[in-house]
Structure 1
Amino acid sequence: MVDIKCENKTISDIIFQLRKEKNLTYANLEEFTGVSLPTIHKIESGVTKRPEFKTVKAIATAFPDFYKEIMECYITIENRIDTLYEVLQDVVSYEEHISLVPKVALRLLENPNCETEESLKRLYDFTERVDDPSLRLEIYKLIVRYSRQHGTTTFVAKGLLQKYLIERSDLKRLEQTFQSGLEIIHYTDFLSDEEKVTYFFRIGLHAHNTKKYRECIEFCGNGMVLEKNESELKARAHLSMINSYSALKNYDKVEELLDVFEKYEYDFVNEAAKHTRAITKARKGEYEIAVPLLEENLRMFSPQSRLYIVDELFEIYLKIDNLDACSKLLERENEIMNTYPDDPNVCRAKGKYYRHKGHYQLTIGVIDEGVKSYASSLQYLNKINAFEEKDACMREFFYCLTKNSIILNKELMDIIYIMAYNVND
């Protein structure tokens, strides 16, 4: 194979070598590429030193093994901004050419025909329209690096925000992406009010999902001050503050915020408010009030809410040793568990459900199934690296074994070991 690298080579060199390697005439090349024979001859002979992009693309497409090398050579000789954006639009369309994306983007930023800030703005606007999140992420990383090097703080801030909004969706790296998101705090003065609101609410929700309840309250509170209009994101941030106060056992504040939360006019609000009021009663140990409320919610609420209600009821029934009620909850498992796509809250809720199920099964002597339920709990918690919940699950598992005088065989212990230590996903 011809060694094609763009160092010290031109597109004319590449065409010549490709033609010789594949034993092609100009006529053959015209047939393969759709580019006219005279045009090919002029490029190869060096008469045309900067061919049109449509011509280069046709040749590169005809020889896909050399697409990357041809484009790398082309962007070194092309200075027209609009043409370079054509190249960028083309390379983002091919997953196999992802490595070209930052190279073309950097060429655009370094182009002498455009001021730095103007170049950054145009590339930033272009990136917002790229469909593939991984490609957007690569370009935003480049924007941040280039902006730092050139002291353009506004686009450091904007790039960091967009980078964070993509990275935070990785369920396995919630803690790492939260920490990286904190850097944006130092750049909020360079964000628009709308961007600040998005940042504070999103990182507030992220804080809640990583059980940083005080940080959740602080960040969402900052967003509430800035956001004067109603939005679903604002309502969800409000709910995360309520849930954070509940986790911190500040139930008076929970009930105070619920009075405000109930005024939002979104579909999820009514159920969430009723559910939270019932949970608050349960957390205060007022089971005689909480259980009827939760049981009514289970009958009346949409399928999307039932998993969380079941988790609460399961926990109460186990505390008050109502095993018959636990059994009736399990009869609804298929109806409840098949409703939800996995996100951090759902993974945590499913982990809790299977932990309660395992507790019940070990208590009634269904050992094999109980172990498998605890393993399922650990599996869901592994998805979000919920180490604290995994520790609680293991402590409860061994407590149940001891309480019920259960000795497991090696096969069952191996199941738990594999899931507890994430040996095999």
Structure 2
Amino acid sequence: MKNVEDHIGEIILRYRTQNKLTLSELEEKSGVSKSSISRIENGETKRPELITLLRIFEALDVQYEEIIELYISNETRNSSLHDLLLEAIQLPNEDLTIKIVSRILENPKEKTEDSVEILYNTALTVEDTEIKLVLFNQLAQYCRTRGIQPYMSKALFHRYRIERNNPHRLEETFRHGEEVLYYIEFLSHEERINLCYLMAFDAHDLKKYEQCIELGKMGHAEDSTSNEIKERIALAICNSYMRMGKFEDMESHIEMYEKLGYRFIMERSKYLRAIILSKTGHYQEAIPLLRECVGEATKNNLIHRVNDLIEALLNVNDVNSIEQVINTEEQNFSFDFNNAYNFSGIGNYYKNKGAFLVSRGHFNEGMDAYLQSIVYYGKINRIEEIMSCAVEINMHHCELKKDMDLELLKKLNEVYNVIKFGIRNEG
């Protein structure tokens, strides 16, 4: 019986003959040396590299999927299959990766636990994000059907860590994180802390403030070390209490974290207490502090501090100060970010700017600001906020008895197309 190498060699020879190509001509088209091609055709090369076969088949214009699958299915040694997997990862080729992973997991000559462990350790070392995600997805699905909960939980955890880097799909990703929580006991101590912290941040960005507090405190209960992430979680907890209007709880937690020596809170205590003053109507005390905080802001938190200052100024109808803030601070904004919290902050800023400009008689400029707001909300799929902007645009037209001109409709259409295209690409 012919081995698979002989079979593949015959296929290459047959298609080369049909295409009337010499070895030299196929070498030129494929980039594979004619001596290598000749050895493969003669069955002399044992287990040719995948990249070599793919180049030859592509040069011959052959549908190679079934042939490669045959090549994979005839291999029973995990060491060789692992080598094939590493080749597929380097290509990178998702379809081939999935086929090889399935073959490794279903290989009757190897113990299931050994195969799973090999794949898990391999996945940890992969740099290509998409391939890494494919590996963890395959592992999670297989381990779920076989009841291998320790590796299923770890694969789901790593899938969540990868997926959460896409702010446009944060809601879906958060649900995946909630699935991991059911199996948190199978994670290592460090992984449990990491999961709680990451989910707390995501809950905050998704305005799930009660869950942010709960998850953050779960992480704190596990984490006995001193580190910046732990203190950032404390800030997210304080912010969550603020967003929920629980200012007494916010103040008590600020005091607790100060006593614990959380530098990240201590450096921001003036800002946090200025927010409490503003939110409780003490604007005369809050506004000077908020101005100071804007002046002390970093590029990462400037937009949020400007929003808080503008909100306070709007409540006292200080239009001159608002105009000054817009004119001086917007040029200092950093747009070099990729997280939902900052996209939301920029969206809020342009929405408030749009309303302010319309109120000052700058109607067209206000509409442009609203469009900017919609763009940033669209990057994180905030449909409710997008609809709110659309409602306000329509409301201003009705109140000022303005017709929706063609130019604005074109701009709206362009913005919606950008958002729709982004959703389609990320989906």
Rate the CA distance shift 1:310–1:57 in 2: closer, same or farther, 3 A.
Answer: closer
Distance 1:71 1:236, change over 3 A: farther
2:71 alignment partner AA? Y
| The one of 18, 35, 41 aligned to 2:15 | 18
Secondary structure of 2:294 counterpart: helix
Determine whether 1:61 maps to 2:60.
no
Tell me whether 65-74 or 274-283 shows the greater mean CA deviation: 65-74
Question: In the alignment, is residue 52 of structure 1 matched against residue 47 of structure 2?
Answer: yes
Please report how far the alpha carbon of residue 236 of structure 1 lies from its aligned counterpart in structure 2 after TM superposition.
Answer: 2.1
Which residue number corresponds to residue 144 of structure 2? 148
Match of 2:276 in 1: 280
Alpha-carbon offset, residue 180 of structure 1 = 2.6
Aligned equivalent of 1:3: none
Equivalent pair of 2:397/2:404 in contact (CA under 8 Å): no
Change (3 A) 1:207 1:341: same
CA deviation profile, 1:145-204 (whole Å, cap 9, x unmatched) = 111222211121111111112222222222222223211222112111211111111112
CA drift of 1:345 comes to: 0.8
Q: Deviations over 1:274-315 (max 9, x none)?
A: 322211211111111111111011222323322111111111
CA 1:334–1:245: 2 relative to 1, 3 Å? closer
Matching residue of 1:409:
404
**Alignment pair present for 1:90 and 2:84:** no
Q: Cα gap change, 1:218/1:119 in structure 2, threshold over 3 Å: closer, same or farther?
A: same
Q: Equivalents in 1 of 2:48, 2:5: separation in Å?
A: 20
Aligned CA distance change for structure 1 residues 392 and 275 (closer, same or farther; 3 Å): farther
User: 1:76 aligns to what?
Assistant: 73
Q: What's the CA shift for 1:415?
A: 5.8
* Distance apart, 1:126 and its partner CA: 0.8
Amino acid at match of 2:91: Y
Choose the corresponding residue for 1:222, options 192, 202, 218: 218
Code of the residue aligned with 2:204 in structure 1: it is H
- Farther off after superposition, 57-66 or 253-262: 57-66
Deviation of 1:361 after TM superposition, in Å, equals 0.7
String of CA shifts for 1:200-247, please: whole Å, max 9, x gaps: 111121111111111111111111111111233222222211111111
Q: Tell me, what secondary structure is at the counterpart of 1:331?
A: helix
Instruction: Say whether the 8 Å CA contact 2:234–2:265 is kept in structure 1.
Output: no
On the 8 A contact 1:201/1:219 being kept in 2, the answer is yes
Determine the C-alpha separation between the residues in 1 that align with 2:393 and 2:409.
Answer: 14
Matched with 2:119 is 123
The answer (yes or no) to whether the contact 2:357–2:363 under 8 Å persists in 1 is yes
The answer (yes or no) to whether the contact 2:24–2:34 under 8 Å persists in 1 is no
AA partner of residue 33 (structure 1): V
Secondary structure of 1:228's counterpart equals coil
How big is the shift at 1:397?
Answer: 4.7
Q: Distance in 2 between matches of 1:57 and 1:400?
A: 61
Whether the 8 Å CA contact 1:207–1:213 is kept in 2: the answer is yes
What per-residue deviation string (whole Å, max 9, x for no partner) do you get for residues 362-410 of structure 1?
A: 111011001111111122112112233334444555565566x352433
| More deviation, 128-137/20-29 | 20-29
Q: Deviations over 1:250-283 (max 9, x none)?
A: 11111122234445666x6555443222112111
Report the 3-state secondary structure (helix = DSSP H, G, I; strand = E; otherwise coil) of the residue aligned with 1:33. Answer: coil
Counterpart position of 2:95:
99
**CA root-mean-square deviation:** 3.1
Query: Counterpart of 2:12 in 1: which secondary structure?
Result: helix
Task: Report % sequence identity.
Answer: 28
Q: Which residue of 2 aligns with 1:4?
A: none
Give the partner amino acid of 1:357: K
Q: Which residue of 237, 244, 265 corresponds with 1:241? A: 237
* Structure 2 counterparts to residues 203-352 of structure 1, below 5 A: 203-262=199-258, 269-352=265-348
Alignment gaps of 5+ in structure 2: 420-427
**In the superposition, relative to structure 1, how do residues 307 and 79 fare at CA in structure 2: closer, same or farther (>3 Å)?**
same
Provide closer, same or farther for how the CA distance between residues 278 and 388 of structure 1 changes in structure 2, counting only shifts above 3 A: farther
| Contact 1:204-1:215 at 8 Å conserved across structures | yes
Q: Residue 301 and residue 270 in structure 1: after superposition, are their counterparts in 2 closer, same or farther (change >3 A)?
A: farther
